[in-house]
Amino acid sequence: MKPTSGKIIFAGGGTGGHVYPALATMEALLQKGNFELLFVGSYRGIENQIIPGSFLYKKIWISGFQRFFTLRNLLFPLKVLVSLFQSLLIVLKFKPDVVVGTGGYVSGPVVYTAAKLGIPTLIQEQDSYPGVTTRLLSRYSDTVCVPYQEVLQHLKKVKGETVVTGVPVRRSLKLISKSEAVLPWALKADQPVIFIFGGSQGAHSINKAVKQIARPLLQKYRVQFLWQSGKNNYPEVKEWSIAKETGVKVLDYIQAMDLAYSAADIIISRAGAITLAELAMVQKPCILIPYPLAAAQHQEKNAQTIAAIGAAILVKEDEALEIKLMEAVVRLLDHPDEAAAMGRKWQKVYQPEAAEKIADQIIKLVEKRYENQTGKN
Protein backbone atom coordinates (compact mmCIF):
# COMPACT_ATOMS: atom_id res chain seq x y z
CA MET A 1 0.00 0.00 0.00
CA LYS A 2 1.40 3.39 -0.97
CA PRO A 3 1.96 5.88 1.87
CA THR A 4 -0.33 8.90 1.81
CA SER A 5 1.73 11.12 4.08
CA GLY A 6 5.34 12.15 4.55
CA LYS A 7 7.70 15.09 4.71
CA ILE A 8 9.36 16.11 1.44
CA ILE A 9 11.95 18.80 0.72
CA PHE A 10 12.14 20.27 -2.78
CA ALA A 11 15.26 22.22 -3.75
CA GLY A 12 15.77 24.17 -6.95
CA GLY A 13 15.89 27.66 -8.30
CA GLY A 14 17.70 30.42 -10.07
CA THR A 15 15.35 30.35 -13.07
CA GLY A 16 11.74 29.40 -13.62
CA GLY A 17 12.91 26.27 -15.44
CA HIS A 18 14.05 24.82 -12.12
CA VAL A 19 11.12 26.08 -10.04
CA TYR A 20 8.02 25.27 -12.10
CA PRO A 21 8.79 21.51 -12.28
CA ALA A 22 8.94 21.49 -8.49
CA LEU A 23 5.60 23.28 -8.27
CA ALA A 24 4.02 20.83 -10.71
CA THR A 25 5.27 17.83 -8.74
CA MET A 26 4.27 19.38 -5.41
CA GLU A 27 0.75 19.87 -6.76
CA ALA A 28 0.66 16.23 -7.90
CA LEU A 29 1.86 15.00 -4.49
CA LEU A 30 -0.84 16.93 -2.67
CA GLN A 31 -3.42 15.27 -4.93
CA LYS A 32 -2.15 11.88 -3.77
CA GLY A 33 -1.95 12.40 -0.02
CA ASN A 34 -1.36 14.58 3.01
CA PHE A 35 2.29 15.45 2.42
CA GLU A 36 4.16 18.18 4.29
CA LEU A 37 6.27 20.06 1.76
CA LEU A 38 9.20 22.44 2.15
CA PHE A 39 10.82 24.35 -0.70
CA VAL A 40 14.45 25.47 -0.45
CA GLY A 41 15.57 28.27 -2.75
CA SER A 42 18.19 30.99 -3.00
CA TYR A 43 18.08 34.53 -1.67
CA ARG A 44 17.96 36.23 -5.07
CA GLY A 45 16.47 33.67 -7.47
CA ILE A 46 13.15 34.02 -9.23
CA GLU A 47 11.70 31.40 -6.88
CA ASN A 48 11.15 34.24 -4.41
CA GLN A 49 8.49 35.61 -6.77
CA ILE A 50 6.71 32.43 -7.79
CA ILE A 51 6.61 30.05 -4.82
CA PRO A 52 3.09 30.26 -3.40
CA GLY A 53 2.81 31.41 0.21
CA SER A 54 1.03 28.19 1.12
CA PHE A 55 4.31 26.25 1.02
CA LEU A 56 7.01 26.35 3.68
CA TYR A 57 10.02 28.17 2.24
CA LYS A 58 13.66 28.36 3.33
CA LYS A 59 16.62 30.08 1.66
CA ILE A 60 20.31 29.25 1.39
CA TRP A 61 23.22 31.47 0.36
CA ILE A 62 24.26 30.05 -2.99
CA SER A 63 24.54 31.23 -6.58
CA GLY A 64 25.81 29.77 -9.82
CA PHE A 65 29.46 29.77 -10.84
CA GLN A 66 29.85 32.05 -13.86
CA ARG A 67 31.68 30.60 -16.87
CA PHE A 68 33.46 33.92 -17.40
CA PHE A 69 35.68 35.94 -15.09
CA THR A 70 33.84 37.94 -12.46
CA LEU A 71 34.77 38.95 -8.93
CA ARG A 72 31.61 37.25 -7.70
CA ASN A 73 33.21 33.89 -8.48
CA LEU A 74 35.74 34.55 -5.72
CA LEU A 75 32.91 34.12 -3.21
CA PHE A 76 31.75 30.83 -4.70
CA PRO A 77 33.81 28.48 -2.44
CA LEU A 78 32.60 30.34 0.65
CA LYS A 79 28.99 30.21 -0.57
CA VAL A 80 29.26 26.45 -1.08
CA LEU A 81 30.50 25.92 2.49
CA VAL A 82 27.85 28.20 3.98
CA SER A 83 25.06 26.65 1.90
CA LEU A 84 26.11 23.14 2.94
CA PHE A 85 25.91 24.17 6.60
CA GLN A 86 22.53 25.85 6.04
CA SER A 87 21.29 22.75 4.22
CA LEU A 88 22.39 20.56 7.11
CA LEU A 89 20.44 22.69 9.60
CA ILE A 90 17.34 22.69 7.38
CA VAL A 91 17.42 18.92 6.83
CA LEU A 92 18.06 18.10 10.51
CA LYS A 93 15.23 20.37 11.66
CA PHE A 94 12.63 19.36 9.06
CA LYS A 95 13.50 15.62 9.14
CA PRO A 96 12.34 14.83 5.59
CA ASP A 97 11.50 11.37 4.32
CA VAL A 98 12.74 12.28 0.82
CA VAL A 99 14.67 15.21 -0.66
CA VAL A 100 14.00 16.19 -4.29
CA GLY A 101 16.25 18.32 -6.49
CA THR A 102 14.82 19.94 -9.61
CA GLY A 103 18.09 21.33 -10.95
CA GLY A 104 20.06 24.51 -10.69
CA TYR A 105 22.73 25.43 -8.19
CA VAL A 106 20.30 25.48 -5.24
CA SER A 107 19.59 21.76 -5.42
CA GLY A 108 23.27 20.81 -5.14
CA PRO A 109 23.98 21.48 -1.43
CA VAL A 110 20.56 20.28 -0.24
CA VAL A 111 20.46 16.98 -2.14
CA TYR A 112 24.13 16.24 -1.43
CA THR A 113 23.62 16.84 2.30
CA ALA A 114 20.56 14.59 2.41
CA ALA A 115 22.35 11.81 0.52
CA LYS A 116 25.26 11.91 2.96
CA LEU A 117 22.80 11.65 5.86
CA GLY A 118 21.25 8.53 4.34
CA ILE A 119 17.98 10.23 3.38
CA PRO A 120 16.48 9.02 0.07
CA THR A 121 16.97 11.51 -2.75
CA LEU A 122 15.50 12.06 -6.20
CA ILE A 123 16.64 14.47 -8.89
CA GLN A 124 14.57 15.57 -11.85
CA GLU A 125 16.19 16.83 -15.04
CA GLN A 126 14.17 18.78 -17.62
CA ASP A 127 16.60 19.38 -20.47
CA SER A 128 17.80 17.19 -23.31
CA TYR A 129 21.33 17.75 -22.00
CA PRO A 130 21.64 17.48 -18.19
CA GLY A 131 23.19 20.37 -16.30
CA VAL A 132 26.34 20.21 -14.19
CA THR A 133 24.38 19.87 -10.95
CA THR A 134 22.37 16.92 -12.28
CA ARG A 135 25.47 15.17 -13.59
CA LEU A 136 27.15 15.49 -10.19
CA LEU A 137 24.12 14.58 -8.08
CA SER A 138 23.28 11.52 -10.20
CA ARG A 139 26.25 9.83 -8.50
CA TYR A 140 24.54 10.11 -5.11
CA SER A 141 20.78 10.04 -5.80
CA ASP A 142 18.50 7.05 -5.39
CA THR A 143 16.32 8.00 -8.37
CA VAL A 144 17.00 10.11 -11.45
CA CYS A 145 13.98 11.24 -13.49
CA VAL A 146 14.67 12.41 -17.05
CA PRO A 147 12.44 13.79 -19.82
CA TYR A 148 13.66 11.52 -22.62
CA GLN A 149 15.52 8.23 -22.95
CA GLU A 150 18.30 9.99 -24.88
CA VAL A 151 19.27 12.03 -21.80
CA LEU A 152 20.66 8.94 -20.08
CA GLN A 153 23.62 8.75 -22.46
CA HIS A 154 24.96 11.94 -20.86
CA LEU A 155 24.82 10.52 -17.32
CA LYS A 156 27.87 8.31 -16.93
CA LYS A 157 27.90 7.40 -13.23
CA VAL A 158 24.35 6.94 -11.99
CA LYS A 159 24.00 5.43 -8.52
CA GLY A 160 20.31 4.56 -8.47
CA GLU A 161 17.31 3.93 -10.67
CA THR A 162 16.63 5.99 -13.79
CA VAL A 163 13.07 6.71 -14.92
CA VAL A 164 11.82 8.44 -18.07
CA THR A 165 8.93 10.65 -16.98
CA GLY A 166 8.65 13.60 -19.34
CA VAL A 167 8.66 17.21 -18.12
CA PRO A 168 6.13 18.13 -15.42
CA VAL A 169 3.67 20.94 -16.08
CA ARG A 170 1.59 22.63 -13.40
CA ARG A 171 -2.00 21.42 -13.21
CA SER A 172 -2.92 24.91 -12.07
CA LEU A 173 -2.31 26.10 -15.64
CA LYS A 174 -5.88 26.20 -16.88
CA LEU A 175 -6.77 27.67 -20.26
CA ILE A 176 -9.81 29.92 -20.50
CA SER A 177 -11.48 31.73 -23.40
CA LYS A 178 -9.55 34.50 -25.11
CA SER A 179 -12.37 36.95 -24.42
CA GLU A 180 -11.87 36.45 -20.68
CA ALA A 181 -8.08 36.22 -20.79
CA VAL A 182 -7.50 39.57 -22.50
CA LEU A 183 -9.41 41.55 -19.87
CA PRO A 184 -6.61 41.85 -17.25
CA TRP A 185 -4.25 43.12 -19.94
CA ALA A 186 -6.74 45.65 -21.41
CA LEU A 187 -6.41 44.01 -24.83
CA LYS A 188 -9.12 43.34 -27.43
CA ALA A 189 -10.43 39.85 -28.12
CA ASP A 190 -11.19 40.56 -31.80
CA GLN A 191 -7.57 41.44 -32.70
CA PRO A 192 -4.56 39.09 -32.88
CA VAL A 193 -2.46 38.84 -29.71
CA ILE A 194 1.23 37.94 -29.93
CA PHE A 195 2.66 36.78 -26.60
CA ILE A 196 6.42 37.35 -26.32
CA PHE A 197 8.58 35.93 -23.56
CA GLY A 198 12.23 34.98 -23.48
CA GLY A 199 12.04 32.79 -20.39
CA SER A 200 11.64 33.96 -16.80
CA GLN A 201 14.55 36.39 -17.11
CA GLY A 202 13.68 37.81 -20.52
CA ALA A 203 15.84 37.94 -23.65
CA HIS A 204 17.41 41.18 -24.89
CA SER A 205 17.88 39.96 -28.48
CA ILE A 206 14.23 38.91 -28.82
CA ASN A 207 13.04 42.18 -27.31
CA LYS A 208 15.21 44.14 -29.74
CA ALA A 209 14.02 42.16 -32.77
CA VAL A 210 10.34 42.54 -31.90
CA LYS A 211 10.73 46.29 -31.46
CA GLN A 212 12.19 46.47 -34.98
CA ILE A 213 9.31 44.60 -36.62
CA ALA A 214 6.46 45.91 -34.46
CA ARG A 215 5.39 49.00 -36.41
CA PRO A 216 4.20 47.30 -39.65
CA LEU A 217 2.52 44.56 -37.63
CA LEU A 218 0.67 47.10 -35.50
CA GLN A 219 -0.39 49.09 -38.56
CA LYS A 220 -1.23 46.44 -41.17
CA TYR A 221 -2.43 43.54 -39.04
CA ARG A 222 -3.67 45.46 -35.97
CA VAL A 223 -1.83 43.00 -33.77
CA GLN A 224 -1.47 43.43 -30.03
CA PHE A 225 1.61 42.53 -28.01
CA LEU A 226 1.54 40.93 -24.59
CA TRP A 227 5.18 41.17 -23.64
CA GLN A 228 7.20 39.72 -20.77
CA SER A 229 10.41 41.69 -21.12
CA GLY A 230 12.39 40.43 -18.13
CA LYS A 231 13.42 42.62 -15.21
CA ASN A 232 16.65 43.95 -16.73
CA ASN A 233 15.04 44.86 -20.07
CA TYR A 234 11.82 46.27 -18.64
CA PRO A 235 12.70 50.00 -18.47
CA GLU A 236 13.86 50.06 -22.09
CA VAL A 237 10.93 48.08 -23.51
CA LYS A 238 8.39 49.92 -21.36
CA GLU A 239 9.70 53.31 -22.52
CA TRP A 240 9.45 52.14 -26.13
CA SER A 241 5.89 50.88 -25.62
CA ILE A 242 4.69 54.18 -24.17
CA ALA A 243 5.39 55.80 -27.54
CA LYS A 244 2.87 53.44 -29.16
CA GLU A 245 -0.77 54.43 -29.03
CA THR A 246 -2.43 51.14 -28.15
CA GLY A 247 -2.01 47.40 -28.34
CA VAL A 248 1.21 46.92 -26.37
CA LYS A 249 1.18 45.57 -22.81
CA VAL A 250 4.66 45.21 -21.27
CA LEU A 251 5.44 43.54 -17.93
CA ASP A 252 8.78 42.58 -16.44
CA TYR A 253 7.39 39.23 -15.29
CA ILE A 254 4.06 37.50 -15.77
CA GLN A 255 2.96 35.17 -13.00
CA ALA A 256 -0.48 34.38 -14.45
CA MET A 257 0.91 32.42 -17.39
CA ASP A 258 -2.39 30.62 -17.90
CA LEU A 259 -4.02 33.96 -18.73
CA ALA A 260 -1.16 34.93 -21.04
CA TYR A 261 -1.29 31.62 -22.91
CA SER A 262 -5.08 31.84 -23.17
CA ALA A 263 -4.95 35.37 -24.57
CA ALA A 264 -2.34 34.54 -27.21
CA ASP A 265 -2.94 33.71 -30.86
CA ILE A 266 0.79 33.41 -31.60
CA ILE A 267 3.61 32.79 -29.12
CA ILE A 268 7.25 33.86 -29.56
CA SER A 269 9.60 32.24 -27.05
CA ARG A 270 12.86 30.51 -26.23
CA ALA A 271 13.02 26.71 -26.36
CA GLY A 272 13.75 25.67 -22.80
CA ALA A 273 12.33 22.35 -21.66
CA ILE A 274 9.74 23.81 -19.28
CA THR A 275 8.55 26.31 -21.85
CA LEU A 276 8.10 23.55 -24.44
CA ALA A 277 6.24 21.34 -21.98
CA GLU A 278 3.81 24.17 -21.27
CA LEU A 279 3.47 25.00 -24.97
CA ALA A 280 2.61 21.37 -25.63
CA MET A 281 -0.27 21.72 -23.21
CA VAL A 282 -1.35 25.08 -24.68
CA GLN A 283 -1.16 23.82 -28.29
CA LYS A 284 -0.93 27.16 -30.09
CA PRO A 285 1.25 28.18 -33.07
CA CYS A 286 4.70 29.18 -31.89
CA ILE A 287 7.92 30.73 -33.13
CA LEU A 288 10.87 29.29 -31.23
CA ILE A 289 14.12 31.25 -30.94
CA PRO A 290 16.54 28.98 -29.03
CA TYR A 291 19.11 30.55 -26.73
CA PRO A 292 22.39 30.13 -28.69
CA LEU A 293 24.62 29.85 -25.59
CA ALA A 294 22.65 27.09 -23.86
CA ALA A 295 24.77 24.15 -22.69
CA ALA A 296 25.46 21.68 -25.51
CA GLN A 297 23.01 23.73 -27.62
CA HIS A 298 20.17 21.85 -25.94
CA GLN A 299 17.62 24.58 -26.73
CA GLU A 300 18.36 24.36 -30.44
CA LYS A 301 18.02 20.57 -30.28
CA ASN A 302 14.70 20.97 -28.46
CA ALA A 303 13.45 23.44 -31.08
CA GLN A 304 14.57 21.22 -33.97
CA THR A 305 12.54 18.35 -32.54
CA ILE A 306 9.40 20.48 -32.31
CA ALA A 307 9.89 22.07 -35.74
CA ALA A 308 10.38 18.63 -37.28
CA ILE A 309 6.86 17.57 -36.27
CA GLY A 310 5.44 20.83 -37.62
CA ALA A 311 4.36 22.27 -34.26
CA ALA A 312 6.50 25.42 -34.43
CA ILE A 313 8.68 27.58 -36.66
CA LEU A 314 12.36 27.58 -35.70
CA VAL A 315 14.15 30.92 -36.05
CA LYS A 316 17.82 31.06 -35.14
CA GLU A 317 19.29 34.01 -33.28
CA ASP A 318 21.73 35.44 -35.82
CA GLU A 319 22.24 38.56 -37.94
CA ALA A 320 19.05 37.84 -39.88
CA LEU A 321 16.87 37.41 -36.77
CA GLU A 322 14.63 40.41 -37.45
CA ILE A 323 13.98 39.45 -41.08
CA LYS A 324 13.27 35.79 -40.30
CA LEU A 325 11.08 36.65 -37.33
CA MET A 326 9.02 39.05 -39.44
CA GLU A 327 8.59 36.40 -42.14
CA ALA A 328 7.47 33.82 -39.57
CA VAL A 329 4.93 36.13 -37.92
CA VAL A 330 3.47 37.25 -41.26
CA ARG A 331 3.25 33.63 -42.42
CA LEU A 332 1.13 32.71 -39.39
CA LEU A 333 -1.05 35.83 -39.66
CA ASP A 334 -1.65 35.38 -43.39
CA HIS A 335 -2.41 31.66 -43.12
CA PRO A 336 -4.65 31.07 -40.08
CA ASP A 337 -5.51 27.50 -41.15
CA GLU A 338 -1.81 26.59 -41.19
CA ALA A 339 -1.36 28.27 -37.81
CA ALA A 340 -4.24 26.30 -36.30
CA ALA A 341 -2.88 23.02 -37.70
CA MET A 342 0.53 23.86 -36.26
CA GLY A 343 -0.99 24.27 -32.82
CA ARG A 344 -2.71 20.88 -32.99
CA LYS A 345 0.57 19.10 -33.79
CA TRP A 346 1.85 19.81 -30.26
CA GLN A 347 -0.32 16.86 -29.23
CA LYS A 348 2.41 14.56 -30.55
CA VAL A 349 4.79 15.54 -27.72
CA TYR A 350 2.33 16.33 -24.94
CA GLN A 351 3.02 14.29 -21.77
CA PRO A 352 0.27 15.24 -19.32
CA GLU A 353 1.17 12.68 -16.64
CA ALA A 354 4.82 13.66 -16.07
CA ALA A 355 4.24 15.27 -12.67
CA GLU A 356 2.20 12.28 -11.50
CA LYS A 357 4.95 9.88 -12.58
CA ILE A 358 7.57 11.81 -10.59
CA ALA A 359 5.23 12.02 -7.59
CA ASP A 360 4.82 8.23 -7.73
CA GLN A 361 8.61 7.82 -7.67
CA ILE A 362 8.82 10.06 -4.60
CA ILE A 363 6.10 8.05 -2.86
CA LYS A 364 8.00 4.88 -3.75
CA LEU A 365 11.06 6.25 -1.92
CA VAL A 366 8.91 7.22 1.09
CA GLU A 367 7.53 3.70 1.16
CA LYS A 368 11.00 2.16 0.97
CA ARG A 369 12.24 4.39 3.79
CA TYR A 370 9.23 3.42 5.93
CA GLU A 371 9.86 -0.28 5.29
CA ASN A 372 13.54 0.08 6.20
CA GLN A 373 12.69 1.89 9.42
CA THR A 374 10.04 -0.62 10.49
CA GLY A 375 12.34 -3.49 9.62
CA LYS A 376 14.96 -2.19 12.04
CA ASN A 377 12.45 -1.96 14.91
Position 195 pLDDT exceeds 60: yes
- The residue among 120, 122, 126, 129 whose CA lies nearest residue 152 is 129
Q: Mean pLDDT check: name the lowest of 146-150, 285-289, 326-330.
A: 146-150
Q: What is the pLDDT of residues 161-178, one digit of tens each?
A: 999 999 998 877 889 999
Is 259 a residue whose pLDDT tops 80?
yes
Of residues 245, 234, 167, the one with CA closest to residue 196: 234
Mean pLDDT confidence for 322-327: 97
pLDDT in tens, 83-94: 999 999 999 999
- pLDDT reported for residue 245: 58
Q: 3-state class of 307 per DSSP? A: helix
d(Cα 340, Cα 318) in Å, to the nearest integer? Answer: 28
Give the C-alpha separation, 146 to 29, whole Å.
Answer: 18
Identify the band that residue 293 occupies on the pLDDT scale cut at 50, 70 and 90.
confident
Question: How far, in Å, CA of 301 to CA of 132, rounded?
Answer: 18
**Span 211-224, pLDDT tens digits:** 999 989 988 999 99
CA-to-CA dists, residue 361 to 17, 61, 110, 117, angstroms = 20, 29, 19, 20
Using DSSP, state whether 124 is helix, strand or coil.
strand
pLDDT at position 170 is 80
The residues facing 56 across adjacent strands are: 38
User: Could you give phi then psi for residue 179, rounded to 5 degrees?
Assistant: -60, -35
Q: Does position 364 have pLDDT exceeding 80, yes or no? A: yes
Q: What is the mean pLDDT of residues 173-202?
A: 90
Domains in the chain and their CATH numbers? 5-169+352-376 (3.40.50.2000), 178-349 (3.40.50.2000)
For residue 182, count other CB atoms closer than 10 A to its CB.
Answer: 22
Q: Give the residue-averaged pLDDT of 194-222.
A: 88
Could you tell me which of 153, 210, 185 has the C-alpha nearest to residue 324? 210
User: When comparing pLDDT for 262 and 272, which is higher?
Assistant: 262
Q: Average of pLDDT values for 272-296?
A: 90
Residue-level pLDDT at 50: 79
pTM confidence score: 0.80
What are the distances in angstroms from CA 334 to CA 226, 274, 275, 326? 20, 29, 26, 12
Q: What's the chain's average pLDDT?
A: 89
Q: What is the per-residue pLDDT for 241? A: 82
